[in-house]
């Protein structure tokens, strides 16, 4: 069982879903969007990690992170103001190797040296786009008992009608490959970095980008659009 002090390092990606809410992140990031006029989106994931015994949390920011730093401060509200471990905010260019990243793999590559020096055996990675209290302790226990290399948490939801038609037209291939890539990419890139070296990142990224352009060119947009009305039908008024 995972006790009060979990043998796990927490990593939070606060910018992952900024493109989903562009009007709300002009001057902030997803993690610092207010919730119920009292909380911020980052509070839920950060509190869930701390409540499950994760006392070493790194937040890898990309842009518009000033409001997030003001909100988190030293991490005292979460008992993370510590000399060892605690809350660690990693901005771009804070060190020579840390650049502005475009995805989670690049973000992890930026802090790879930092991760190698951490004493925790497991790593818990999360975004800040959900508002709930998540039991990471149960997930860690399940991961340890299963002996798996990677454990992912997800929820089943019905596919929206507008997107469902796109699924049928593309035979589910694009979305299947997209989800498979999100799971496989961190594993493959990690193995390449560990067993081959950094020189594999550029050719690997170039190959993946080429494949993504091919799949995007073969995919139709899934948004549902109203059918175009005739000249007379356009004057109809719904009750």
The answer to which of 63-67, 142-146, 193-197, 219-223 has the lowest mean pLDDT is 219-223
In a domain, 7, yes or no: yes
Of 122, 155, 188, the domain-final residue: 155
User: 98 forms bridges with which residues in the sheet?
Assistant: none
With 0.75 as the threshold, say if the pTM is over it.
Answer: no
Closest CA to 50 of 89, 22, 16, 10: 10
Domain with residue 96: its CATH number is 3.90.550.10
Please tell me whether residues 3 and 99 are part of one structural domain.
yes
49 confidence band (pLDDT: 50, 70, 90): very high
- Give the pLDDT confidence score for residue 224 in this predicted structure: 46
- Give the pLDDT confidence score for residue 210 in this predicted structure: 82
Range 2-25 average pLDDT: 81
The answer to which of 43-52, 68-77, 136-145, 189-198 has the lowest mean pLDDT is 189-198
Please tell me whether residues 101 and 141 are part of one structural domain.
yes
Range 142-168 average pLDDT: 76
In 109-226 the beta strands, taken as DSSP E runs, fall at 122-127
Across the chain, what does the average pLDDT equal? Answer: 78
Range 117-136 average pLDDT: 90
In a domain, 34, yes or no: yes
Domain range spanning residue 177? 157-226
Are 98 and 110 in contact, with CB atoms under 8 Å apart?
A: yes
In a domain, 63, yes or no: yes
In a domain, 135, yes or no: yes
Q: Residue 152: CB partners within 8 Å, gap ≥ 6? A: 183
Q: Is residue 1's pLDDT more than 60?
A: no
In a domain, 111, yes or no: yes
232 confidence band (pLDDT: 50, 70, 90): very low
Please tell me whether residues 140 and 162 are part of one structural domain.
no
61 class by beta-carbon count within 10 Å (0-12 exposed, 13-18 middle, 19+ buried): buried
Answer with the residue of higher pLDDT: 65 or 174: 65
Please tell me whether residues 189 and 131 are part of one structural domain.
no
- Give the pLDDT confidence score for residue 20 in this predicted structure: 82
Q: Is residue 115's pLDDT more than 90?
A: no
- Give the pLDDT confidence score for residue 122 in this predicted structure: 92
Please tell me whether residues 148 and 182 are part of one structural domain.
no
pLDDT tens digits for range 169-227:
555 566 666 677 777 777 777 777 777 777 777 787 788 788 777 766 765 554 444 55
E strand or H helix at 165: helix 161-169
Please tell me whether residues 150 and 170 are part of one structural domain.
no
Please tell me whether residues 102 and 196 are part of one structural domain.
no
In a domain, 238, yes or no: no
In a domain, 239, yes or no: no
Please tell me whether residues 86 and 140 are part of one structural domain.
yes
Please tell me whether residues 78 and 181 are part of one structural domain.
no
Please tell me whether residues 125 and 145 are part of one structural domain.
yes
In 128-229 the beta strands, taken as DSSP E runs, fall at none
Q: Is residue 2's pLDDT more than 50?
A: no
The total of structural domains in the chain comes to 2
Please tell me whether residues 143 and 182 are part of one structural domain.
no
Please tell me whether residues 20 and 53 are part of one structural domain.
yes
Of 95, 121, 155, the domain-final residue: 155
Of 155, 183, 209, the domain-final residue: 155
Distance CA 2, CA 16 (A): 28
In a domain, 189, yes or no: yes
């Amino acid at each position: 069982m995972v006790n009060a002090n979990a043998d796990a390092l927490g990593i939070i990606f606060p910018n992952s879903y900024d493109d989903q809410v562009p009007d709300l992140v002009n001057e902030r990031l997803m993690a610092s969007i207010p919730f119920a006029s009292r909380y911020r989106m980052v509070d839920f994931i950060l509190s869930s990690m701390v409540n499950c015994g994760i006392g070493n949390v790194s937040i890898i920011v990309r842009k518009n992170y000033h409001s997030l730093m003001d909100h988190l401060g030293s991490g005292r509200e979460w008992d993370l103001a510590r000399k060892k471990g605690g809350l660690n905010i990693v901005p771009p260019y804070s060190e020579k190797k840390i650049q502005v990243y475009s995805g989670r793999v690049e973000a992890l590559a930026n802090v790879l040296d930092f991760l190698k020096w951490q004493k925790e055996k497991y790593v818990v990675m999360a975004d800040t786009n959900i508002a709930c209290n998540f039991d990471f302790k149960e997930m860690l226990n399940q991961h340890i008992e299963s002996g798996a290399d990677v454990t992912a948490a997800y929820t089943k939801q019905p596919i929206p009608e507008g997107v469902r038609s796109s699924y049928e037209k593309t035979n589910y291939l694009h979305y299947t490959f997209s989800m498979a890539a999100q799971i496989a990419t961190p594993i493959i890139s990690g193995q390449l970095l560990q067993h081959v070296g950094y020189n594999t990142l550029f050719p690997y990224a170039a190959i993946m980008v080429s494949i993504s352009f091919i799949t995007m060119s073969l995919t139709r947009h899934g948004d549902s659009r109203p059918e175009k009305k005739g000249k007379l039908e356009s004057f109809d008024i719904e009750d």
